[in-house]
Amino acid sequence: MTAAAHLRTLLQPGEPIVRAPGAYDSLSARLIEQAGFPAIYMTGFGATASRLGLPDIGLLTQTEMTEHARNMVRATTAPIIADADTGYGGPSNIDRTVQEYIQAGVAAIHLEDQVAPKRCGQMTGIQLMGAVESERRLKAALSARGGSELIVIARTDALGATGREDAITRAKRYQDAGADLVFVDGIKTRADIEYVAENVPGPKVASLVDGTDAASLGAAELEQMGFSIVLYALTALFSAVTSARTTLALLHDEQIIPASPNGITYADYSKIIDLEFHQELDASFGA
């Protein structure tokens, strides 16, 4: 079964909401899978942070993003939902983007309706393509997947740019165009997510960002509202940055590695990265 087919089974009616924390690299993808989550979200915000140490403003190219996706697919078995930004150009670029992600082995991609330079959905200053152009670009992606099982998610960033009504109108338009799921991004409050739930029927995605009012929503609540997937896009990244910054500050000030009751050992880390498997390979086939 392909990763896309697996994710499709998880999205069948009656199945629990799919919880997918954001992975910023292959190691964090492994940790998400080992924690027991059914799917992994390859966040463009996290990819930009880990590869460039810069903000999510469209700085990574299509080849960088698809390489990032391939590495995550190699490192895990859980289906990966990948950020495909705006498709990286015109219809031919969108076609190539879809083909590259299919070859990378991801289960799903989402395409957004911003103009370049794109921005993280939580930022201000977002500008949108026209709804008709966005719909045509979505149809290009749906055509490009052909007979593959890749799941195509249509994301709109209208909530923060042009308001709730436009976000709902665009989400419904993308559903009518054939998107498998729709995703209204930029949600910060419970009121916003409740509005989306009440006004957008069918399969849809929620994204919760740490520190917002909406982040207090539980998966069970979102499932009752009719959401099929919930993305925790930045939780792992923010947790890693918090821990690293705290530890490095202590190391700088105290000039000794700080003790941590919750820290991992070299042996613990070796299990995470499956060192034993490679040692056994070397023992069996090495010089």
**Is 120 annotated as catalytic?**
yes
Set 40, 120, 152, 200: catalytic member:
120
CB 229 within 8 A of CB 20: yes
Rg (CA), the chain: 20
CA distances from 73 to 29, 69, 89, 251 (A): 9, 6, 24, 34
Q: Are 175 and 153 in contact (CB under 8 A)?
A: no
For the chain, the straight-line distance linking the first and the last C-alpha, in angstroms and rounded, comes to 36
Task: Answer whether 106's CB lies under 8 Å from 80's CB.
Answer: yes
Whats the size of the chain, residue-wise?
Answer: 287
Structure tokens at 181: 């799921």
Catalogue the active-site residues: 120
